[in-house]
Chain A
Amino acid sequence: MRGRHWLWMVLAALRSLAAAADDVAADDAAAGRPSIVAGSPSDVSVTVYRAPHRNSGSIDLGQLGGFALVSETRTVRLPVGESRLRFEGVADGIEPASAIIAGLPGILEKNREGQLLSPSALIAAAVGKPVVLVRTNAKTGKAVRLSGTILSDAEGGVAFKTAQGVEGLRCSGLAESFEFTSTELSALPTLSVMVRAAQATTATVTLSYLARGFDWAADYVATLSSDGKALELGAWVTLANGNGVGFPSARAQVVAGRVNRESGAAEPIDIGGPILAQCWPRGSTSDTPEPVYLAGASPLEGGLMDVVVTARRQMMALAAAAPMQEVAQQVVQEELGDLKLYRVPDRTTVAALQSKQVRLMDRQAIPVHSVYAADITGNEGDRFFPAMRVLRTQNDAAHHLGLPLPSGSVIVFTDRGGVSLLLHESAMRDLAVDEEVEIDLGESADVQVKALKEKDSVDSTHAQMRVEVSNARAAAIQFELRLSLNQGARVVRADHEMALKNGRPIFKLNIPAGQIATLSYQVEEAFRRSAPR
């Protein structure tokens, strides 16, 4: 779960390393091909899509399973002939195969280098080449420099050769390290295109690509009036960027609806690792030391935790304070094929490792009614269980709604003497206009249900059921009893009126305050139990 984040963090850390030379620079130089770095983006657009597998609920900052379409416009000056154009500072989660470059004539090929600069990559690249070994006396601080050659970095152990002979790195217990003079590796996944221009031109190039490590959801805050008959519904678009790259002054959009993603072949990438200086067996007569790590990126994990916690706390605070807030801007909805696109009106900065909230909607005085419900299979046994309470309304103009409601989480508050109190938190799926809206309020201990099998026939084909529902609320309640029957079974008689909803028998009862309602029905099964067939 933390694995992916670890990757982003490592990449983010690597970015801060000194700028590295182009790994293909030598090749280009040989071919007389200039390498050009595209200028920084003049216009950036980020469209965030939610995780395709998540149909409801809020986002998880620790595991951002969604993605984004990033489009950026840059100006480049191209010389005559072949040149390599490099785009630096693209999102770390870039899916290179999805990159589209518009406005550039004569693209020969697009490349993404996956071998990144890391301690182990430095060693791997230096195998067989001369390096300088530095030995520092821990006591005096005096450093001795020795010229040598790295012979091997196989299986995490490093063997090197100096004029004195062959030795293993960090096997002696001395402070040992290598000095490298240059590297041809780059710190970040860099996209480059090879172009051939007929004449020198200045082009405005738009680079679009899909990048992982984003997500968004709608976070609804519902406030139920004290009489339980009206609802105030507000919502935030919460979007998050888990990449180590930020997008300043960007046009930001989010897209609602599930889009199809193929699991796809992973692009080969080696983000590198620490040097694992493995030595010969080092058991002693007293202890067994662990292998020594020379370098690692793990301390960054602590920093990430802070980010998550802060963001969570902030999100809760915003949610709780939502009804009182003045909202200056709301996202604007438009159609995008069969999906819904929400546009943030003003330019905004989508920073690295940030979650951001923009107002989605605010609706007042939505008429709702409370329904208590229970599902009965007939095998409940002799015990009481609490009924579920749901708030029900219709997503149409008559109910002060009538707009697409993208999936997310719903937090329900109620007002108690001017103070908002939390009632329940649940998830919501995508709801189109005119669909029934149900907001879960959780179990209600005041409404208890017991379903007893009173009588069973010898072959279990006929069962007599009695259901008791007790109402300890101060007011009458609407109650719905839904039956889950076996294949082909049917209710043959009942002492209350029965209806069908979604193909299942349903009884609707009105139970006055402080009363117990009793309901009896008889079920006929299609199969005899343990009867020879």
Chain B
Amino acid sequence: MHARLFSIGVILGAILSSAALPAERSLSVTIYANDLALIQDRRQIEVGTGRQRIEFQDVSAQIRPETVSLTAPDISIVEQNFDYDLLTPAKLMEKAVGQDITIVRVNPASGAETREQARVLATNGGVVLKIGQRIEVLRDDGLPVRVIFDKVPDNLRARPTLSVTVDSSRAGARPATLSYLTPGLGWRADYVALFNEADAKIDVQGWVTLTNSSGTSYDNAQTLLVAGSPTQAGGGMGFGAVPGGVRRPMPRPQRPTLQEAGTESGSREQLGDFYLYPIAERTSIANLQTKQVSFLDVHGVPAEHGYEFYNGWLGTADAPQSAKTVYSFSTSAHAGLGDQLPAGVLRFYLRDKRGDPQFIGESRIDHTPMGSTLALATGDAFDVKVHAVVDKRTRRGEFEWQTDMRYDLTNASPKLVVVKVLQSGLWGDSRVSAESQKSVRRSAETVEWPVTVPANGKASLTATFVTRN
């Protein structure tokens, strides 16, 4: 009803949004790491005096309408609406119930047209029409009949539309700022690490990868990336008009990657506890685009190549299992990457005999402070295997068990390797009563042995666990 009242405003809004005054429009997009963005849209708007409605059609299709705020001089906000009654042929017919439409019968052989006025009685399952005194089902005989509607009802639109009703004390153009939160925009980091086997050093490049599935393009936007995931209360009532536009939690690494958390501070700009990564130049973020901008390029960082084998419980494996290949390096300023690493995926490459880089696996990392030590598993070692076997399990009392474990390590490679064997799953009061080499107790649940396996050789580790629970 108010739509009719403010029909002048509708026309005005349509002009505003379609013309969009690109020269005077300034977009600023701040993207957080957990699929959330803050859009600030500055533009010139033409406003008359008194109450009127302004429509914004080129906002994010997934806008969270409850977060919208419009500020402009000499206007006050009466109400904000987000209309998502969409214009479809079915809606047109539904809204025409009780009203007159024009039907055009087309003779399938000759193409001759016969026009009639009809009143729509019902649209339940099929369209029932009253033509003169007759009642008919539309196209009951399957013959072609065109239906022509005079106009589109005011509140039906092609896309969900944001409208703001304002009260203006004067007429004329003025700058306005529209800001809102939207899901569908996100970013993460992607790293490329080239490991040089000869001198055990890595070159690391970091790229921020931003993705836009919000259903809208942002042209010539000033873009700021925030390495942090602000808490979002509830789901909001955003309109998920785009397929794939689901709110995603930030993925976490499969195994712990941070060996030591860093304590160094860098020179990057911060916002609260979040680090900021501004993109130097204005950029256009098209809908469904993946965009990458470089933020890190470090050469010759010392890295260590090692092996790790993790046994989750005191059990026997059917066959030998490959140890994991682990690369560790520091992010400190003096002997490492010297930067904070935003969460993302690090891909490792190694040169083959021809000198071409080949992919050898990847690992996810969390937001990592500067000065940390990272140990990233890239995959399984083909030639280094461990066979965990329960040699004997004896009951020593009502609640006491003794488990004799043996780990057979084999190395089919022509170089000596050190495998970090981790035995976890030590529930209750567990202790190592005997072992073939000294262990380090990492926690109540886990013990660790660094086991040396000679080139093309074998090694065996035995340990006896006494468990009370």
Contacts and interface: CB of A to CB of B under 8 A. Distances in A.
Interface stretch (B5-13, B71-79, B350-358, B431-439): B350-358
B48 interface: no
A169 B89 contact: yes
B147 A168 contact: yes
B139 A284 contact: yes
Interface stretch (B37-45, B151-159, B164-172, B269-277): B151-159
A173 B345 contact: no
Given A164-B148, A167-B148, A503-B391, A159 B127 contact: no
Nearest to B351: A336
A404 interface: yes
Among A45, A152, A153, A504, find the residue whose CB has the most chain B CB atoms closer than 10 A. Answer: A152
B288 A110 contact: no
B158 A339 contact: no
A337 B90 contact: no
Contact of A336 (B146, B188, B358, B406): B358
Given A173-B143, A334-B352, A404 B412 contact: yes
B24 interface: no
B337 interface: no
Interface string A256-279: 111111111111111000000011
B410 A432 contact: yes
A71 B149 contact: no
B361 A260 contact: yes
B111 A151 contact: no
Contacts of B362: 259-262
A161 B145 CA distance: 17
Interface stretch (B174-182, B366-374, B377-385, B441-449): B377-385
A interface: dominant SS: loop
B119 interface: no
A111 interface: yes
B interface: dominant SS: strand
Contacts, number: 315
Contacts of B146: 167, 171-172, 174
Nearest to B88: A157
A108 B284 CA distance: 13
Nearest to A263: B251
A72 to B, nearest CB: 12
Contacts of B292: 96-97, 99, 109-111
Interface residues of B, number: 118
A139 B158 CA distance: 34
In this complex, the interface size class of chain A, counting residues with CB under 8 Å from chain B, is 35 or more
A494 interface: no
B389 interface: yes
Contact of A284 (B102, B137, B219, B251): B137
B461 interface: no
Contacts of B145: 172-173
Contacts of A151: 87, 152, 158
Given A152-B88, A159-B92, A167-B146, A114 B251 contact: no
B343 to A, nearest CB: 11
B86 interface: yes
Given A268-B213, A281-B127, 7 more contacts: A111-B290, A156-B88, A253-B352, A253-B358, A260-B378, A284-B140, A339-B382
24 contacts: A107-B294, A110-B207, A110-B291, A111-B289, A111-B290, A139-B109, A157-B88, A157-B89, A165-B149, A171-B89, A172-B106, A262-B364, A263-B251, A267-B211, A268-B290, A280-B93, A284-B126, A341-B352, A430-B322, A432-B385, A434-B456, A435-B385, A488-B395, A503-B389
